Amino acid sequence: MLSIIDRYIIRKFLTTFFFMLGIIMLFAMVFDISAKLSEFISNKAPLSGIFLDYYLNFILFYGNMFSSMIIFLSVIWFTAKMAQDTEIIPIWFSGRPLTRFYRPYLIGATVLMLISLVLNHFIVPWANNNRLAFEEKYYSDEMSVEDYHADYPGNQSVYFSNYTNSEGQVHDFTIQRWNDSNEVVYFLKARYAKNYPGTNKWQLKDYYEKDILFPEGTLKFGAKKDTVFNFVMEEMAQRQTIAETMTFSELKNLISREKLKGSAAVSSYEIELHQRTSYPFAAYILTIIGVAVSSQKKRGGIGLNIAIGLGFVFIYIFAMKMTTVAAINVGFSTLLAVWIPNILFSIVAYVLYRFAQK
């Protein structure tokens, strides 16, 4: 059963969070509009699309991404304000255990964490798909892929030298297959290759192919040929943000396919998957730290508490960047890379909690 003080703290928690979220997102939108408005106008982007397809989804994505940090700052802000107004002193001296004081904070953090989890795994990917599609149509630079190489199921490797989405075809398209003895049994090269959108049908131009069969092989060449492959262009030419547009199950399937190809992007996709859970969970840790550093009245006032809070935020972001870079470039476990900052800050939260008890 929630007491009056519980409801008071939860209400202060949620209202402060959404107020700070609105202010931060408003500033983010102003900076983004100043950078992209001229391109939107020159490309004749519809006004309704700018606000509904782009900026509404922009708020969902970035607001949810930084929600744990905003939770942290919100807790510090309103708790420090309560401490300055001596609202916390009667609670501290009521004789109740410190855990009772933390309970409404953890309830508020749980509500926001559950919302963030649902957004991360199901709603934000859909929003990102609309946002990035709008951005690609009315703002983004041309997408290009160079020197693509990947191994595919069926003992085959695929290579091409260049692709741009405006041209819609690849250059120097090469396929090579080999048998279980690692001997090459098929080779194909085309000057140009184009995938029909939404299908696995391809058109080759200026091609030649060779079947290497014992004791003799066949060689074919021609100006144009329609054929079918077990891969599509969308798998090969992907923006770095492709994982952001996929739900949990879609991202898991993408990781499985990329592992079969030996893709170097697997680590980035796994980090994106794990972060969708680790970032919301950080709300608990940062809430405990926020209460511990701001629940006592300080000579420097609220400003000192905010400064301490920003210091923790920068350290957390730095730790996350360090571990994710290690996972991508050094081969460090992606699961550990994403969760190590939370583990380290959990220890910090426990120490600060024990210190607050004294």
Between the CA of residue 281 and those of 4, 87, 110, 154, 315, what are the distances in Å? 27, 29, 9, 41, 17
- DSSP assignment of 196-220 equals PTTSSEEEEEEEEEEE--SS--EEE
Q: How far is it, in rounded angstroms, from Cα 109 to Cα 103?
A: 10
Report the pLDDT value the prediction gives residue 25, as an integer from 0 to 100: 94
Q: What are φ and ψ of residue 220, in 5° steps? A: -125, 150
- Do residue 133 and residue 273 come from a single domain? yes
Residue with tokens 């807790």: 75
- Do residue 25 and residue 116 come from a single domain? yes
Residue 235's nearest CA partner among 216, 217, 258 is: 258
pLDDT tens digit sequence for 198-233: 788 889 999 888 887 655 667 788 888 888 887 777
- Do residue 21 and residue 106 come from a single domain? yes
If one counts the domains in the chain, the total is 2
Q: Which of 192, 222, 238 is the last residue of a domain?
A: 238
232 vs 70, residue with greater confidence:
70
pLDDT tens digit sequence for 2-12: 788 888 889 99
> Is it the case that residue 239 has pLDDT exceeding 70?
no
Q: Which residues pair with 219 in a beta bridge?
A: 210
- Do residue 207 and residue 334 come from a single domain? no
- Do residue 280 and residue 132 come from a single domain? yes
**Host domain of residue 165:** 144-238
- Do residue 8 and residue 135 come from a single domain? yes
Residue 252 lies in a domain: no
Q: How far is it, in rounded angstroms, from Cα 72 to Cα 314?
A: 12
Q: How far is it, in rounded angstroms, from Cα 28 to Cα 70?
A: 14
- State the average pLDDT over residues 320-327: 81
Q: How far is it, in rounded angstroms, from Cα 342 to Cα 348?
A: 10
- Do residue 234 and residue 285 come from a single domain? no
> Is it the case that residue 21 has pLDDT exceeding 90?
yes
pLDDT tens digit sequence for 270-293: 888 998 999 899 888 989 888 888
Residue 248 lies in a domain: no
DSSP letter, residue 318: H
